[in-house]
Every structure is written in C-alpha cells, then in structure tokens.
Structure 1
Amino acid sequence: MATISIFGKGNMAQALKARYEEAGNTVNLIGREADATLGDIVILAVPYPAVDGIVATYKDALAGKIVVDITNPLNFETFDELVVPADGSAAAEIAKALPNTNVLKAFNTNFAASLASKKVADAADTTVLVAGDDAGAKEAFTAALDGSGLAVVDAGSLKRARELEATGFLQLVLAVGEKISWTGGFGLYK
C-alpha cells in the first residue's frame, strides 16, 4: 500500500482520505503547515490559487513524488472561464513548475459527495478519470485506489487534462446553477 499526503482539509480531502484508507493506504491531511512529511502520492485538494504557495514551499520535497492535481482552475470572480491558457491546463502549469515529479490530473470531474458515496446520483458507480504522461505513476495511482470502491479509467496523456478541466468546469457550472445536484455529475458507462 501507499502513503498518501493530501493538501487540504475540506470536503474533497475528507472524501479522498476515506476512499484511500478504505483501500488500505496510510493518509495524512496537510493544512497550512510548512514542514509536513510527504507520502509517495501527494494530492492537491486545494483551490487552484493555493497551488503556487504549495509548490514554492514544498518544491524540493515533491521531487520524485506522484503529484495529483484535482483543481479546476476557474475564475471564481466571474465563474465564466478557466484561468489557464486555452491550449493548456492547470496540470500542465504544475508539471512545468515541478519538473522532477510525475504530475497526474484526476478527481476534478468528481464531486466530494460522489467520492464519498461511490455513486453518481445514486445511479452510476463513481469513475475517476486520470491523465498523465508516466505509465508507472498512473499504475501506482490506480493500485492505491484498488479496494476503494472507485473505478479508475486512464484518460490518456497529461494533454487530456485540458479536457478534464473543461468537463470539471461545466459540471461545476451546472451544479452552481442548480441544473444538477452536488451528488450528481457525469457518469461513465462501459
């Protein structure tokens, strides 16, 4: 099993902690402290604007780790656009800032409630889409969720983070506009 460090202590962090622990992993949640020990897999369960501070504080400690970006880089003032280049993604920006890590994009198309219940709208099993360039990192990520009750599907290279972020953005807009519930979202049927 893996050691998982989750930056953040909110709903997403709590739901992820429960799923990873259910799968037999050791998990620690990290708040604003600047001296935390990091596990094999490090999850950024914080608003996108908080990522720069984490990278600046922990850049050396993150070297060699699997870093999972779950952010949706929204303009929270207008709620009408993503704040990353149209041909890029938050995950790509993080990968540039952390060249000695294996950055994955995952969980941003899942709501905390669907991670907690393992169901989307009480209908579909919750599926985690993961994008990244390192096959070994994706295998370790998937293995750490084995036994969690979540399905994992490889969405391709880190370039696919752009589409995952657009999907996450759309899902958030629908939920905020009360078109779907926070227990709803997108399901994947095979």
Structure 2
Amino acid sequence: MIKELLNKLFGNKDVSPAMTQTETATHKENNTMTTYTIFGRGNMATAIAGILTKGGATVEHIGSADSASAKINGSVVILAVPYPAVDSIIAAHKDELAGKTVIDITNPLNFETFDSLVVPVGSSATAEIQAKLPQSRVLKAFNTNFAATLSTGKIGDITTTVLVAGDDADAKHALITDVNAGGLDALDAGSLKRVHELEAVGFLQLTLAGSEKISWTGGFGLVK
C-alpha cells in the first residue's frame, strides 16, 4: 500500500466513500434504468458486474464469440477485455458507441516481454480509444484493481478504491456513484491525461503480482 505514491499522482482529491444501506436503497430505487453492457465474461467482468448489480444497475455481458455481432443495449459500455481485443470491438460497433460512455479497464502490456507498454510514449490506451471514438465519453477505471479485491471489496483492511479518470465530469460522477452504491470507495483521479499514470500503476502492480512479490488478493490501497 503506497499512500505516498497515490498522493503524488492524484493530489488531495476527495475519495467518494461507499454508501450507507439507506443511501444504497435510495440509489437502487432511482437507478433501475441504468444499463451496462460489459464486453467480456472473465474474472474482471464478473467482479465489476457484481458491484454494479449490487448498486441497482442492470448488466448484460457480451462474450468474445459474439463481440462482433451482438447488439449493445447499455447506455454505458465496459471494455473488460485484453487491450488487443479493443480494436475489433471498435471496428464492429463504432456507430453504436457514439453518444455512450465507454469505460476502458485495460492495461496495455506487452504480454510477450511483460516489460513494457504497447501504447505510444506519453499516451495511454484510453487516450488511443478516445481518439478512435470522438463521439463517446471514454473513461479509465478498474485497471488498478484485481478481480479479487473488487469481489471482496477489501485490500487488507482497507475498502477497495476504484480510480476513475477522463474528461467528462458527468460520466465520471455517474460511474463513481454506481461504484459507491455497490459498496466500494471511488476517486476522481483527474482528466484523460492522468490515465498515463494510472496505467503505469496498473503495469507496476501486474508485474509485482506476476513475480509473486504481491498476491492477486493484494494491491495498492488508498488510505484516507
């Protein structure tokens, strides 16, 4: 848990805490029309779906076999797939994604070397996606979380915090509210430019877990 690193990256922005039971119940009553479409059926997709449904949202999944042909019904789309799979999803659904919020959870690692990112220096996967989807509101979220810490809601004794970045304040607020309703803390980590740092944190976390220096039930927690 590296409080100093997170403070340097994100400053003193307020963490939005998980809702109380009363607040969650009220949110569920008002959130019945929110529908998420998640591309992916893996551990991360399942864990994220669990958070959102707990908060009252409706979630549908699109698996890899149907990713090119399935209709997107959600107003918010989550790309819970490996980064190399993103381009084919965009190619098949660019028109459908226009006007929607698109949440990128990817960490664009070079999985052959596990020692670098595959996006241009200074850029990010999310920035590349936003450039390809100029009519969508593209956010980065969940890339610094492991599936286990999303499912349990804990990193050690600390409530799991989801870091969210992007240029659309309303889209960020809506996602943060839904994450809070699902029982987790969330933090507006800044603009699309800050995704570069988020992906660096995600990269570091994955390499540490891959080398068994931290566990897949561990990670970085935000002490507030």
1:119 equivalent to 2:154? Answer yes
Query: Paired residue for 2:120?
Result: 85
Q: If the length of structure 2 is used for normalisation, what is the TM-score?
A: 0.83
Distance in 2, matches of 1:19 and 1:52, equals 26
Instruction: Give the alignment of 1:130-149 within 5 angstroms.
Output: 130-149=164-183
Secondary structure of the equivalent of 1:128?
A: strand
Instruction: Give the alignment of 1:1-80 within 5 angstroms.
Output: 1=31, 2-31=34-63, 32-33=65-66, 34-80=69-115
CA-CA distance at 1:144 after TM superposition = 2.1
Task: Out of 86-95 and 37-46, give the one that drifted further.
Answer: 37-46
Instruction: Give the alignment of 1:148-167 within 5 angstroms.
Output: 148-167=182-201
Runs of 4 or more above 3 Å deviation: none
Write the deviation string for residues 126-170 of structure 1: whole angstroms up to 9, x where unpaired. Answer: 000000101111111112223211111000001100000000000
- For structure 1, list consecutive stretches of 5 or more residues without a partner in the other structure: none
Query: Paired residue for 1:97?
Result: 132
Asked if structure 1 preserves the Cα contact closer than 8 Å seen for 2:129 and 2:138, the reply is yes
Distance in 1, matches of 2:157 and 2:118, equals 32
CA-CA distance at 1:96 after TM superposition = 0.3
Task: Out of 92-101 and 140-149, give the one that drifted further.
Answer: 140-149
Asked if structure 2 preserves the Cα contact closer than 8 Å seen for 1:130 and 1:156, the reply is yes
Asked if structure 2 preserves the Cα contact closer than 8 Å seen for 1:38 and 1:62, the reply is no
CA-CA distance at 1:41 after TM superposition = 1.1
Distance in 2, matches of 1:163 and 1:139, equals 20
Distance in 2, matches of 1:135 and 1:88, equals 20
Asked if structure 1 preserves the Cα contact closer than 8 Å seen for 2:62 and 2:70, the reply is no
Distance in 1, matches of 2:40 and 2:128, equals 20
Q: If the length of structure 1 is used for normalisation, what is the TM-score?
A: 0.97
CA-CA distance at 1:86 after TM superposition = 1.4
| Higher relative contact order structure (alpha carbons within 8 Å, sequence separation ≥ 6) | 2
1:18 partner letter: G
CA-CA distance at 1:107 after TM superposition = 0.2
CA-CA distance at 1:116 after TM superposition = 0.2
How many residue pairs are counted as aligned between the two chains? 189
Asked if structure 2 preserves the Cα contact closer than 8 Å seen for 1:75 and 1:81, the reply is yes
Distance in 1, matches of 2:71 and 2:159, equals 34
Distance in 2, matches of 1:146 and 1:105, equals 16
Q: What is the alpha-carbon root mean square deviation over aligned residues?
A: 0.8
Distance in 2, matches of 1:170 and 1:137, equals 27
Asked if structure 1 preserves the Cα contact closer than 8 Å seen for 2:158 and 2:221, the reply is yes
Asked if structure 2 preserves the Cα contact closer than 8 Å seen for 1:41 and 1:141, the reply is no
CA-CA distance at 1:85 after TM superposition = 1.0
Query: Paired residue for 2:24?
Result: none
Distance in 2, matches of 1:130 and 1:160, equals 10
Higher helix share: 2
